[in-house]
Structure 1
Amino acid sequence: MKKLTLIMLTVVFSTISLTAIANGTLSCSTPWAKSVPVHLVERKVVASSQNGIVLMEVEDIFFNPTDSRCEGVYKFKMPPGAFASGFWINTDEKEWVKGEIRKIAEARKIYQTITSRLIDPGILEQKDDEITVRVFPIESKKKVGIRFRYFFAAHGDKDRLVFNFPIGFANSITPDEERRARAEPVPARLSFVATLFDADSIVAAEASNDQVKINATGSLCNLSLSAESALVDDLSVSYRTGADEKISVVPCKSPDGSKYSLIRARNIEYPKVDDVCRVGIIVDGSGSMGHRNKERALKAITTISAMPKVEVELFVAANGDLRRVEASELQKMEFYGNTQWDFVSTFPADSNYAGVILITDGDNLNAKHLQTLWRKTSRRPVQVIYLRQAYSRALAVMAENFGGCFFYGKATAQDQLPVALARLIDVLSNNPFLVLPGDRKVMPLFGSLSDAAYYVLAFKTGNYSLKTSTGKDLVSFDIADNMEPREVLPWFGGIAGRQLIKQLEANEQTPEVMQKITELGLRYGQTTDYTAFLAVPEEIAMMHSDAMNPAYLAMFAAPNFRQSRQQARDKACFANQRVLMGALEMFCMDTNFKDPETGKDISETLGSLEHDLYTGVFKIDKLVELKYLKSMLIPPETDCEYRIIGNWMRSGLVACMVHGPVDEAKPSIEEMVKQYCAENNLNFDDFDLPYELYGGYPWSVSLEWKLQQHLLIRLFFKFML
């Protein structure tokens, strides 16, 4: 699926978290320094819940202690499945400017136009469950504030509902050199207030922090926490419901008179199946599935194969081919090559499987591939076992329409892999769906039926049921006219629109589907792949009325603007490369490059990074997995691709295939090759590269594969002798 993006303009921010509990951290860059820390002064969090669905508002205030105006980068990690629904910014310590929803392309153009003139706006992006805000300028010795809202839902844990509030921070920043010398972090103020409502009543509410004040009576629970500290943990709150119902239905009425049904399904019991459950398991055999991912895949297969009355048939997908294998053969196989999914069309259509499990790291997987596999198996469920440690909302939404997605990292972190996989097999063999009056199936807005699932639907009387793939009723319930609706806050009506958006997000993104998602995002004021928030202070908007006028957008690509925009992208790309070089240095310092079996030096390939000296490609995601990078680098341009030219342990260098290397940003390709030859005792005349084909911008044509290989193979031949 397309990258899920949320843009909100005001001042420039983008996010970087310090530790697992540090959330909503701001760092700055100036013309003289990168990643200058800006300390958090205050965080205010307000949350409101209706039967497990939460609207949470976070307001963060930061102070720039430096003597320089700087550009800021802010990140915030939301709970899985969350989506943003509001944005404000404060750059003058007085007035909060509210963001308005716009088409994403329009918002981006306005943002880029104004920032090219070096005056105030900002951009906020959402990818999966993380939002990133960029702000410029943050004035010296001034405060800057960001505020945003998002929706998420509680998850089920046996008989309890659990709310994970990501309110933690780690303020390792000091306001001045004197304190920095004493390594005294600055405390920040935290204010947290939440009101939880549950129609089934709230029993035995508890919090992970014993300083939280809890006042629970009947269906209401009020929570509050105040603290002043440099280190605050995230907060987990849970409770049991008074009625142990599998299905909870709350009719709701918003202030505009609209009526909805909030349906919560949890702890669904599946009927015991006496017959053997045949499962087809497809293992992604591409190069990115080697090492740890292969170990995870084998562990999942072993766990499933050991379950009673489960019969497993294994397939491996590699190099565009799909073939049947035995478990012993799979263990000996070497995973390599690119990820290709055309093989799904060759899956045996006549096999009588209860469902299919696809074990992968998700590279290049899209809804069309899952849909093809789903159809090949006569619309039996396709469950994805996703091996990366990070949650992917895009994959979760995409997979839900065809069976579901199991996040391996979550289960292993909680040491519950056998239990979680057994639940997956239950779901696979039953393939439950909520069926509305008229036999229309819908997918959950939040969660899944293997845990706790939430639906927000337009109020309609009739019989509703959870059914298995064979049509057997698991739970059946009625919604009647005489059910008294509960008055809810205005924010609640918007999430009914999100239910429609989520249904559309799971489909193939045709122009018609994209247009419909855009319309719903604009109507309900929510971020989607195609909509974003734009917030520009009034005085800035007046100064740049030409840019704010949609008619101006057609003139957006004027040459002088293209030049300034390109310079900004160059800077951002070179900053990424510096971060990457630092991560590589730390990785090499910590790594023993001796093969444990042969004793051979494997430093040329950088061990688990699997650096290919011919192409320069290496596994940058391994640096994230091993915590040398906090997150994947955000490229300033879609085509940016970072590679290592030469042997990194000798004189290799990091380079972008669009912008080139940091130290070689000015010279042409010809000059760069001359310099490289001089440094490595190579004969420049041996290189018969067609330099004239590379154009005016040194690295632009190096995106073409043939020229790219022509250059790189020549540069690397020294190291392959």
Structure 2
Amino acid sequence: MKKLTLILLTVVFSALSLAVMANGNLSCSTAWSKSVPVHLVERKVTASSQNGIVLLEIEDIFFNPTYSRCEGVYKFKMPPGAFAAGFWINTDEKEWVKGEIRKIAEARKIYQTITSRLTDPGILEQKDDEITVRVFPIESKKKVGIRFRYFFAAHGEKDRLVFNFPVGFSTAVATDDFESRRAEPETARLNFVATFYDADSISDAVASNDKARINADGKQCNLSLSAEGTLLEDFSVSYRTGSNEKVSVMSCKAADGSRYSLIRARNLEYAKSDEECRIGVIVDASGSMSYRNKERALRAVSTISAMPRVKTELFVAADGDLRRVEPGELEKMKFYGATTWNGLASFPADGDYAGIVLITDGDNLRSSHLQMLWSKVKRRPVQIVYLHPDYSRALAVMAENYGGCIFYGKATADDQLAAALARSVEMLRNNPFLFLPGERRVMPLFGSLSEAAYYVLAFKAGSYNLKTATGKGLLSFDIGDNMDPQEVLPWFGGIAGRQVIKQLEANERTPEVIEKITELGLRYGQTTDYTAFLAVPDEIAQQHSDAMNPAYLAMFAAPNFRKARQQSREKACFANMRVLMGALEMYCMDIDFKDPETGKDMSSSLGKLEHDLYTGLFKIEKLVEMKYLKSMLVPAENDCDYRIIGNFMKEGYVVCMVHGSIEQSGVSIEDMIKSYCSAHNLDFDDFDFPYEKYGSYPWAQSLEWKLQQQILIRLFLAFML
């Protein structure tokens, strides 16, 4: 059977703090093992930069040294603001299969139709800041290759432009999820080649790795790095430009004759003011903001309140209401209940606020809520302090249109908070935007005006202005018709379309906005929330020409093979819950444990699981630390989310937000909570569980299951014939 390589790329990009190492890992599994030692052999990285905007291509080659055919899952973290521009995969060591851009619904239908015919697929998708590639099969003693491209931009640090490349890796692999023993790491190679071009000239170029060879001459800088090892750190390059101007403009001419203006703004200076800055601080006091998030919120409030010439007025959003509180009162409050934002309508309409700081984990927050607050304070900025372990690109883009966002979660050190909030308050005082001729305001394609911002706009002569939210001019510059357009790299023209897409993404997602984003994604060959890359080898595409035709797909529904996959994943999830309940039972038995020799009560050393009754959240990692679990559980689905309903010391039980409960199979999470509230005289509205996750199985099919079914069919036919 000719092997099909089918790739679907679904992307919602977001910013992130760069990982130090081990980016782009491939973990593999077979029907009888959760971890097979497939290791990285080689990573090739090619970068091409034009005035700070970079097209990066990464090609990873992995080798399966075992005698097992397996399914691989590849994960890669993208840098801030990145978006995909291409994808290829190679599973036969010969042919690289290139993806083409399609509407996401159409791509998914094609995928489902072809895989339902039991042809071996591979799939790639991305949620927020992480790309996930599923590759099948990775043959025994064979290599598999993954290649993709994305755009990102340098950020500004004082007088330098800094490019962070998240290309570090670790080749250590676990031999078994249930064993702490690790396989001996294999050596891998890194080959990195980059060319930087800057119209303002390049000087004092340096690289973070002293083995890199770097040569800067005039407006161009070439760099190469070859390294080999089991552990390599991420890589960065920085340089100074010849111009110290706050804004530089480059007139560009693309290969198709289109003209653009590349505008780079950085190191803006704001006029210092001795006037007191009045800021409204709103704290989300729902159940999901309890414990660690409450600690973070209190720290953020105290940090802002301690700033000189800043007067804070504190509000709490809870129970669908908004009310004024004092800092001491906030500390004593209990955070509970569902997240609702109806109370924001009662925020005092007052033009004396410099802006608003909204401290939240983002649950149920919509663009309309930010727009309401923005209007209440006479279009002054609304800054979000986002308390969540994972980055949300959708929230970042939505917030950027009204004031911006600080991400203060597990990846942000507490000692960085004061500096981040100081920048935030400075932005509240000024909140700069670029205004085009005709006073139309635009958001940056990359970066922010607090560090370095990049705009790629259709060429238009006239006066451009950087202004604060109150209309105060910071800087103005002119773009004239007589500017000589410079030839740019072939890939440059497509990113102008992304500028328009980003502006649209900040709006409410009406059908008209969705249609326009989809159209631009298809036109410029870029992934959005509504477009995807699909790659099928020519021979397979010809064999399945009916499925490749959207008109055919509109007439006939693709066969649905979800049920068997759901059942197998559900069984795996139930097994996880049984392990977890066993660990909790052992933990509860040890609460009153006394040392038989000393008689000393050992329960104080067991730590706390920090269980929150109203969200069900608890610290599974504590059970690992205290040796009640050998290791963290491997989720059956990416969205598996284990929580506890009720008091686990008494009648409480473990549930998965996707698959439900072992004891009450088929009962929704919402109905379980309602039943628990009824039995214990509690208010259902106080509980904040993600009810929408229940039953939300991913649409992708189980590759291993299909393979096993095909083998059984072949054996049956061979026996009968």
TM-score, structure 2 normalization? 0.83
Is residue 607 of structure 1 aligned with residue 609 of structure 2?
yes
* 1:413-442, Cα deviation, whole Å (9 max, x unpaired): 383433322221111111211000011000
| 2:705 aligned partner | none
For residues 85-124 of structure 1, what are the structure 2 equivalents within 5 Å?
85-124=85-124
How far did 1:625 drift?
A: 14
How far did 1:293 drift?
A: 1.6
* 1:681-720, Cα deviation, whole Å (9 max, x unpaired): xxxxxxxxxxxxxxxxx52xx2373466448988999xxx
How far did 1:600 drift?
A: 13
How far did 1:649 drift?
A: 7.4
Q: Check whether the contact 1:11–1:120 (CA below 8 A) recurs between aligned residues.
A: no
How far did 1:588 drift?
A: 10
How far did 1:348 drift?
A: 1.1
For residues 673-684 of structure 1, what are the structure 2 equivalents within 5 Å?
none
* 1:338-394, Cα deviation, whole Å (9 max, x unpaired): 211122111111352111110111122121211121122221110111123443222
CA distance, structure 2, for counterparts of residue 127 and residue 88 of structure 1 = 19
Is residue 567 of structure 1 aligned with residue 569 of structure 2?
no
CA distance, structure 1, for counterparts of residue 604 and residue 315 of structure 2 = 31
| 2:617 aligned partner | 618
Instruction: Report the more deviating stretch, 460-469 or 181-190.
Output: 181-190
CA distance, structure 2, for counterparts of residue 557 and residue 510 of structure 1 = 27
* 1:556-614, Cα deviation, whole Å (9 max, x unpaired): 645xx32x22222443455566678878999999999989xxx99899996324256xx
* SS of 1:403 mapped into structure 2: coil
CA distance, structure 2, for counterparts of residue 617 and residue 338 of structure 1 = 13
| 1:703 aligned partner | 668
CA distance, structure 2, for counterparts of residue 174 and residue 418 of structure 1 = 39
Q: Check whether the contact 1:112–1:565 (CA below 8 A) recurs between aligned residues.
A: no
CA distance, structure 1, for counterparts of residue 186 and residue 257 of structure 2 = 48
The size of the alignment, in residue pairs, is 657
For residues 134-149 of structure 1, what are the structure 2 equivalents within 5 Å?
134-149=134-149
For residues 177-576 of structure 1, what are the structure 2 equivalents within 5 Å?
183-350=183-350, 352-409=352-409, 412-413=412-413, 415-554=415-554, 557=557, 561-562=559-560, 564-572=561-569, 574-575=571-572
Q: 1:13 to 1:335 in 2, by over 3 A?
A: closer
Letter of the 1:608 counterpart: E
CA distance, structure 2, for counterparts of residue 588 and residue 292 of structure 1 = 25
Match of 2:7 among 7, 10, 17: 10
Q: 1:329 to 1:150 in 2, by over 3 A?
A: same
Q: 1:540 to 1:435 in 2, by over 3 A?
A: same
Instruction: Report the more deviating stretch, 472-481 or 180-189.
Output: 180-189
Q: Check whether the contact 2:462–2:480 (CA below 8 A) recurs between aligned residues.
A: yes
CA distance, structure 1, for counterparts of residue 364 and residue 137 of structure 2 = 37
| 2:28 aligned partner | 28
| 1:692 aligned partner | none
Letter of the 1:191 counterpart: N
How far did 1:246 drift?
A: 0.8
* SS of 2:264 mapped into structure 1: strand
Q: Check whether the contact 1:605–1:611 (CA below 8 A) recurs between aligned residues.
A: no
Q: 1:593 to 1:295 in 2, by over 3 A?
A: farther
How far did 1:99 drift?
A: 0.2
How far did 1:117 drift?
A: 3.2
CA distance, structure 2, for counterparts of residue 707 and residue 589 of structure 1 = 25
How far did 1:64 drift?
A: 2.1
How far did 1:536 drift?
A: 1.3
* 1:513-566, Cα deviation, whole Å (9 max, x unpaired): 0000000000000000000000112222233223222133236645xx32x222
| 1:133 aligned partner | 133
* 1:176-213, Cα deviation, whole Å (9 max, x unpaired): 9xxx9994211111111111112222222222211111
Q: Check whether the contact 1:583–1:623 (CA below 8 A) recurs between aligned residues.
A: no
* 1:82-114, Cα deviation, whole Å (9 max, x unpaired): 111111111211111110000011111222222
Q: 1:707 to 1:313 in 2, by over 3 A?
A: closer
Q: Check whether the contact 1:621–1:632 (CA below 8 A) recurs between aligned residues.
A: no
How far did 1:166 drift?
A: 0.7
Q: 1:32 to 1:555 in 2, by over 3 A?
A: farther
Taking only the aligned residue pairs, the percentage that are identical comes to: 66
Letter of the 1:617 counterpart: G
Letter of the 1:405 counterpart: C
* 1:225-247, Cα deviation, whole Å (9 max, x unpaired): 11121111111211222221111
Instruction: Report the more deviating stretch, 568-577 or 469-478.
Output: 568-577
CA distance, structure 2, for counterparts of residue 114 and residue 149 of structure 1 = 26
Q: Check whether the contact 1:12–1:73 (CA below 8 A) recurs between aligned residues.
A: no
Is residue 77 of structure 1 aligned with residue 64 of structure 2?
no
* SS of 2:109 mapped into structure 1: helix
Q: 1:172 to 1:46 in 2, by over 3 A?
A: same
CA distance, structure 2, for counterparts of residue 162 and residue 185 of structure 1 = 31
CA distance, structure 1, for counterparts of residue 214 and residue 670 of structure 2 = 61
Letter of the 1:618 counterpart: L
CA distance, structure 1, for counterparts of residue 636 and residue 366 of structure 2 = 21
How far did 1:54 drift?
A: 0.8
CA distance, structure 1, for counterparts of residue 659 and residue 450 of structure 2 = 46
Q: Check whether the contact 1:113–1:547 (CA below 8 A) recurs between aligned residues.
A: yes
Q: Check whether the contact 1:461–1:479 (CA below 8 A) recurs between aligned residues.
A: yes
Letter of the 1:568 counterpart: R
* SS of 1:415 mapped into structure 2: helix
Q: Check whether the contact 2:10–2:533 (CA below 8 A) recurs between aligned residues.
A: no
Q: Check whether the contact 2:610–2:619 (CA below 8 A) recurs between aligned residues.
A: no
Instruction: Report the more deviating stretch, 530-539 or 292-301.
Output: 292-301
For residues 619-658 of structure 1, what are the structure 2 equivalents within 5 Å?
635=637, 642-644=642-644, 654-656=654-656
Letter of the 1:434 counterpart: L
CA distance, structure 1, for counterparts of residue 227 and residue 583 of structure 2 = 35
Letter of the 2:191 counterpart: S
* 1:264-305, Cα deviation, whole Å (9 max, x unpaired): 111111112232111000011112212222222222222221
Q: 1:384 to 1:645 in 2, by over 3 A?
A: closer
* Aligned-CA RMSD value: 3.8
Instruction: Report the more deviating stretch, 342-351 or 413-422.
Output: 413-422
Letter of the 2:220 counterpart: L
Q: Check whether the contact 1:609–1:619 (CA below 8 A) recurs between aligned residues.
A: yes
CA distance, structure 2, for counterparts of residue 631 and residue 54 of structure 1 = 38
| 1:677 aligned partner | none
* 1:108-160, Cα deviation, whole Å (9 max, x unpaired): 12222223333233322222222111122222222111111001111112222
Q: 1:286 to 1:414 in 2, by over 3 A?
A: closer
CA distance, structure 1, for counterparts of residue 79 and residue 581 of structure 2 = 30
Q: 1:192 to 1:610 in 2, by over 3 A?
A: same
CA distance, structure 2, for counterparts of residue 544 and residue 568 of structure 1 = 23
CA distance, structure 1, for counterparts of residue 286 and residue 397 of structure 2 = 24
Q: 1:410 to 1:371 in 2, by over 3 A?
A: same
* SS of 1:513 mapped into structure 2: helix
CA distance, structure 2, for counterparts of residue 569 and residue 716 of structure 1 = 35
Letter of the 1:363 counterpart: D
Q: Structure 2: which 5+ residue stretches go unaligned?
A: 12-17, 593-600, 683-721
CA distance, structure 2, for counterparts of residue 311 and residue 625 of structure 1 = 45
CA distance, structure 2, for counterparts of residue 553 and residue 620 of structure 1 = 45
* 1:619-645, Cα deviation, whole Å (9 max, x unpaired): 58999999x9999969578xx764446
* SS of 1:152 mapped into structure 2: strand
